[in-house]
Amino acid sequence: MPVLPEKNLLGEETSPYLLQHKDNPVHWRPWSKAALDEARELNRPILLSVGYAACHWCHVMAHESFENDQVADVMNRLFVNIKVDREERPEIDQIYMAALSATGEQGGWPLTMFLSPDGKPFWGGTYFPPQQRYGRPGFIEVLNAVHTAWLEKNRDLSGSAERLHDHVKARLSPPSAEGFDPQSAVTDLAERIHGMIDQDMGGLRGAPKFPNMPFIQILWLSWLQTGNQSHRDSVITSLKRMLSGGIYDHVGGGLARYSTDANWLVPHFEKMLYDNAQLLRLLSWVFGETEDELFRIRIEEVINFLLRDMRVNGGAFASSLDADSEGAEGKAYLWSRLQIEAVLGSRTEAFLSTFELTKPDDWHGDPVLHRLAHPEFQGTDTENALRNDLNALLSTRAGRIQPGRDDKVLVDWNGLAIAAIANCARQFQRQDWLDAAKAAFHFVCESMESRRLPHSIRLGKRLFPALSSDYAAMISAATALYQATRKRGFLDQASEWFETLKSWNADEENAGFYLTSSDASDVPLRIRGDVDEAMPSATALIIEAMCGLAALSGDDKVEEYLSIITERALGRTRSQAYGQAGIIFSAVLAASPMKLAMVEAEEEDLFVPVANRILDPRRWDEAFHVGEPPIHLPGGVSVPTEAPAAYLCMGRTCLPAIKEPAVLQRVLKEHGV
């Protein structure tokens, strides 16, 4: 007998993506031990469908196939059907996406995989149309063919599933190995990335064009470490072109997930929290170096977007905005000239002397607004006037039907956003931004149970247990808030989360971490989380979080553990073909950390404003007041707090006391390269 009732079981889920499918005639199950048990009980293969709420082609396949009674009947007769939100269960997505890639197929979403009753993959693809087209077989044809193959070639398919499972395990959960010098690795990787950069438009050559923040961060780190001017320039060009194209929402702020073309012009309009959090982090570094006002404006616009459109009740941030509205991609964001004239009137010509409306031949919607011909700062008066015009358009746009919002709170993505906003708040002395970062932080803290974080939160429901990426991102959020507020409680919370991470996610040798916790009962394979996707891998986030915790807490045990974790993670990169930029980036931070300790007078900060303006991913800052106990610096050095001074340490070597803010500024700039 079936373990579960023969009906759609998604109605009680919290994921907006799963709830989008709750009325399908398909007998969907959420991923769970009960669903896997049902497949084994029936000895029936599993049809696994993975997507996310903002995914355009997921919507298309849902409408064409999963809402179709004929298709659903075939699915229900032949398979146990499991639906997964890749954002809510990234560990499941990573396992089966790696399996699809191993078969030589192009990955993407929706991910459609066929599994043996014990959850091992044997074949799959992405989007399948209901009938044969686009060179793809029809979905009913696929379902029947897989069923026939399972009945007639069961031994072969079971053997294939075992081999594919073993391949994925070797790829995603490899043993640790001996490390190497991360500085040589970052230099080599930066050169290879730079060779792929589009020198005219920035970003990687070709289409579609993704922001690919882990790669751009490597170029920036290479500039900081070696002074390679061409790597610096590639980052700045990439940002300027990206932020002048249609991939950037000039009216409302925020970056779309990617551009469908090679010129950043026509976006795939979904907006993801992680993209915008990483953009803020990078912009804060680049603004500190260039002081380019256009980057300041973009930081303000992106944060305004997050606070206006992405905050949920309680202050945390939603996951994404959909690409579609009214059944059409990008409809809420597009403008015709007549629509702009109706809003701006006599200002239209001046506005369109900087901005353009472009409609490529293969684009079926209204034109896309961009300023690719004017990527540079146009002067304060012009930019202010343009912003006033954009605000008028934003007010009008608010009356349109808006894209759907995936309002689940993902803890790791929120950690990225909290840290980025806290750093920008420091840089621009924005108490309102800092308050927003703290509110999101407290929202996540209040979601804990028995000192453990969830991974996802929505409408009071929480998905436990957290992933290692959740702890890592929130540790970094806590250390960012400590640097911004000097409140010791943030650092104490970071230390507590690190102990929890070690308790539940450490590997058998205590030399690394698994993505999933030891009590996660429904995962087919415990993977490490070594591979970057659109954001750095969980392992990279852990190493960077440990760098901040070691630098600010002064805990030698954390530093010793960090050395082991980094060495083993670097060693594992040798067996990976791609996706290792995050580990290499964080390993350089671990190998050459910088700490700035500042002693300030009670009445006025002299050094903190300088440090805040010149943010550096390799540096962690800590401020004290005159008269506090002596400061313990790296290398076992203690310094008094008798008078204002700043102490910059690189590794375990510290410079003599710096007594003037102007000198500190010069030193920070000098040690930026």
Q: For 344-369, write each residue's pLDDT tens digit.
A: 999 999 999 999 999 988 888 899 99
Alpha helix ranges (H) inside 173-228: 182-196, 213-226
pLDDT for 136 beyond 80: no
Looking at the fold, whether 167 and 191 belong to one and the same domain comes out as: no
Report CA-CA distances (Å) from 409 to 441, 515, 555.
Answer: 12, 19, 31
What's the pLDDT tens digit per position in 260-296? 999 999 999 999 999 999 999 999 999 999 999 999 9
Q: Coil, strand, or helix at residue 301?
A: helix
CA angle 303, 305, 307 (to 5 degrees): 70
Q: Is residue 511 part of a domain?
A: no
Q: Is residue 331 part of a domain?
A: yes
pLDDT-derived band at 575 (thresholds 50, 70, 90) equals confident
DSSP labels, 273-298: HHHHHHHHHHHHHHHHHH--HHHHHH
Looking at the fold, whether 329 and 393 belong to one and the same domain comes out as: yes
Q: Is residue 313 part of a domain?
A: no
What's the pLDDT tens digit per position in 10-58? 999 999 999 999 999 999 999 999 999 999 999 999 999 999 998 888 9
What's the pLDDT tens digit per position in 403-441? 999 999 999 999 999 999 999 999 999 999 999 999 999
Handedness of CA 524, 530, 536, 539 (dihedral sign): positive
Most confident of 2-11, 21-30, 165-174: 21-30
For residue 484, which amino acid is it? A
Strand 645-650 to strand 594-600: parallel, antiparallel, or no bridges (unpaired)? antiparallel
Looking at the fold, whether 132 and 214 belong to one and the same domain comes out as: no
Q: Is residue 609 part of a domain?
A: yes
What percent of the chain has a predicted confidence (pLDDT) above 70? 99
Judge residue 602's burial from the number of C-beta atoms within 10 Å of its C-beta, 0-12 exposed, 13-18 middle, 19 or more buried. Answer: exposed
Q: Is residue 515 part of a domain?
A: no
Looking at the fold, whether 157 and 202 belong to one and the same domain comes out as: no
Distance CA 82, CA 72 (A): 13
- Which of 351, 372, 402 corresponds to the end of one domain? 402
Backbone φ, ψ for residue 200 (5° rounding): -90, -45
Strand partners, 82: 29, 48
Q: Is residue 412 part of a domain?
A: no
To 10 degrees, what angle do helices 488-505 and 468-485 make?
170
DSSP labels, 631-649: EEETTTEEE--SS-EEEEE
Distance CA 406, CA 40 (A): 33
Judged by average pLDDT, the poorest of 161-165, 233-237, 249-253, 536-540 is: 161-165
Q: Is residue 328 part of a domain?
A: yes
Report CA-CA distances (Å) from 151 to 2, 43, 470.
Answer: 19, 11, 42
Distance CA 406, CA 409 (A): 9
Distance CA 15, CA 429 (A): 36
What strands lie across the sheet with 456-458, from one edge to the other?
409-410, 456-458, 461-463
Looking at the fold, whether 129 and 200 belong to one and the same domain comes out as: no
Q: Coil, strand, or helix at residue 618?
A: coil
Q: Is residue 513 part of a domain?
A: no
Q: Report the phi/psi class of residue 7: left, alpha or beta, with left for phi > 0 and alpha for psi in -120 to 50.
A: beta
- Which of 172, 195, 227 corresponds to the end of one domain? 172
Sorted by sequence, the CB contacts under 8 Å of residue 391 that are 6+ apart come out as none
Looking at the fold, whether 638 and 664 belong to one and the same domain comes out as: yes
- Which of 172, 203, 219 corresponds to the end of one domain? 172
pLDDT-derived band at 174 (thresholds 50, 70, 90) equals confident
Tokens 């993977």, residue located: 527
pLDDT, average across residues 653-657:
94
Looking at the fold, whether 210 and 331 belong to one and the same domain comes out as: yes
528 and 515 Cβ atoms separated by less than 8 Å: yes
Looking at the fold, whether 131 and 192 belong to one and the same domain comes out as: no
Q: How far apart are the first and last CA of the chain?
A: 67
Looking at the fold, whether 120 and 209 belong to one and the same domain comes out as: no
Domain hosting residue 250, numbered range = 180-292+324-402
pTM, whole model, 2 decimals?
0.95
- The per-residue pLDDT for 672 is 57
Q: What is the CATH number of the domain that holds 62?
A: 3.40.30.10
Q: Coil, strand, or helix at residue 39?
A: helix
Provide the domain count of the chain: 3
Looking at the fold, whether 93 and 159 belong to one and the same domain comes out as: yes
Distance CA 308, CA 312 (A): 10
Q: What is the largest CA-CA distance in the chain?
A: 83
Looking at the fold, whether 197 and 279 belong to one and the same domain comes out as: yes
25's tokens: 């005639």
Looking at the fold, whether 257 and 395 belong to one and the same domain comes out as: yes
